[in-house]
Structure 1
Amino acid sequence: MNALFAPHMLDIVCLAISTGLFTAYHLFVAWKLKKNPIYTLYGATKWAKTAWVVNVMEEKNDILAVQTLRNSTMAATFLASTSILLAVGLLTLSGQSDKLGQTWHSLNALGSTTQSTMTLKLLVILANLFIAFFNFSFSIRLFSHVGFIINTPPADENYGTSITFVAMQLNKAGSYFHFGMRAYYFLIPLIFWLFGPLLMVLSTIIVVVLISHIEKTPKLDCGYLAAFFKQTCALPKR
């Protein structure tokens, strides 16, 4: 067993560190969202989607619902298709990994340069792409379901057409889309892993810092709409 993992030890350790950093950040965000549901834009949009479902089903805005869900479905479809195309390209590239390895390993000072290590890297990247594909596919499936049930008149004691059920399904579709994007973000450190394990750890730190900065809900500026509306801070304080 030691002989099997020994050549890849540094790469495996760096992969574990990168995965741990990425997971720790998302666990931290999940903990913060329990205390503050609008800590990130993802949490804030979940509230907005719920309010949108209520408005659409109560006001009978069928055209608005169809157009909005169509845009969401198209976005998820594009990303799911891109995942499969990248996976097919990666499989094609794997047949030439022995030739490309010389170029990729030019910056690899400490990691393994064996063919088996390169195969391991490609398999991990391939698994990540399939995770992204399945999440986007599940998102498309739920967006399609919501497109039908959101236009059904709400009925008492009818679980499938209740506003709560529709809002739950829409937010679940958004969650799958969210997880698919996470797989895309983690693809960046995995690509840098091809050039060396230390670059993967460094790129993971940079990606986490960027995501934490971009995703955090901006502080509400009470004067942003002061020239147009008197009440500009109706949202709960963070």
Structure 2
Amino acid sequence: MMSYWDYGFTLLAIVILSSYHIWLLWKTHHQPLSTAIGLSRRIRKIWVKQIIAENQALLAIQTLRNWTMAATLLSSTAILIALGILNVAFVTESEPELAKLIDYLGYPSENFWLLKLITLSSDFFFAFFNFILAIRYYNHVGFIITVSGHEEANIGVESVTKILQRGANHYTLGMRGYYFSIPLSLWLFGSIWLLVGSLLLIVILLRLDRFV
């Protein structure tokens, strides 16, 4: 079973993280240039226009290759971590003594410990799924951006930009999965550490989401 402290701190951490990202979505939608996400979208749109206008196909492929390599590394790491955590969940019979010692306010529960591990593993599976989707869209852009100037292709700047933005959105979501792993990892040591990790993450994101 869970104590009232576990319920309270866990719920508060969820509310804090959810509220921040709801505010970020609103800010990005209404004041896009005030956030790193909105500004990056504007820069990518200008980049596509310039690449097509100046016929810089080689530069486009090199840039897309760098993005794809980064997404590949992050997706591979995410799936390995996710499977490793699942392995721990299957072979661990109870919560480790270290976690019990640090969890001052929690109530030892084997089911709750397994829930924490599964949640953390799911977070990395979420990151993995988004990174492989980012790779998919980047590969599409690599093909269509080189033929966008041909009449037969019937592909304009807006079409290329839309696909690139989709890939970038999935890349951003994948990175959010890595960011969320900070408080979720601390959650293994107790709900109060989940709350501390969530507050720490918000402080970091407040800066990251304001500057590119």
Pick the TM interval, shorter chain: over 0.9
Consecutive aligned runs of 4 or more in structure 1 exceeding 6 Å deviation: none
What root-mean-square deviation, in Å, do the aligned CA atoms of Structure 1 and Structure 2 show?
A: 1.9
SS at match of 1:7: coil
| Residue in structure 2 matching 1:49, options 26, 44, 49 | 44
**What CA distance in whole angstroms lies between the structure 1 residues aligned with 2:85 and 2:141?**
34
Q: Distance in 1 between matches of 2:105 and 2:199?
A: 19
Please report how far the alpha carbon of residue 15 of structure 1 lies from its aligned counterpart in structure 2 after TM superposition.
Answer: 3.0
Q: What is the CA deviation profile of residues 151-186 of structure 1, one whole-angstrom value per residue up to 9, with x for unaligned ones? A: 013356965x21101001111111111011111111
Whether the aligned pair in 2 keeps the contact of 1:101 and 1:118 (CA below 8 Å) is: no
Which residue number in structure 2 is paired with residue 173 of structure 1?
Answer: 167
**Deviation string, structure 1 residues 91-147 (Cα, Å, up to 9, x no partner):** 222244346611122111121312111111111111111111111111111001000
1:232 maps to none
Name the CA distance, whole Å, in 2 between partners of 1:113 and 1:35.
45
Per the alignment, residue 211 of structure 1 pairs with 205
Distance 2:13 2:117 in 1: 16
Q: Which moved more, 1:38-47 or 1:89-98?
A: 89-98
Larger mean CA deviation between 88-97 and 127-136 belongs to 88-97
Deviations 1:42-85 (A, max 9, x none): 21111111011011111110110000000000111111101111
Match of 2:64 in 1: 69
Contact 2:104 2:190 in 1 (8 A): yes
Whole-angstrom CA distance in 1 between matches of 2:118 and 2:131: 20
Q: Secondary structure at the match of 1:38?
A: helix
| Contact 1:90–1:126 (8 Å) recurs in 2 | yes
More helix by share: 2
Which has the larger displacement, 88-97 or 201-210?
88-97
Alignment correspondent of 1:85: 80
Instruction: Letter of the 2:105 partner, please give it.
Output: L
**1:191-230 CA-partner distances (Å, limit 9, x unpaired):** 0000010110011011101110232138xxxxxxxxxxxx
Letter in 1 for 2:144: I
Match of 2:138 among 143, 159, 175: 143
Q: Do structure 1's residue 103 and structure 2's residue 98 form an aligned pair?
A: yes
Query: Looking at CA atoms only, which structure, 1 or 2, has the larger radius of gyration?
Result: 1
Q: 1:152 aligns with which of 147, 163, 169?
A: 147
Structure 1 portions without partners, runs of 5+: 1-5, 219-238
- TM (normalized to structure 1)? 0.83
1:27 corresponds in structure 2 to 22
1:225 alignment partner in structure 2: none
Judge conservation of contact 1:135–1:177 (CA < 8 Å) in 2: yes
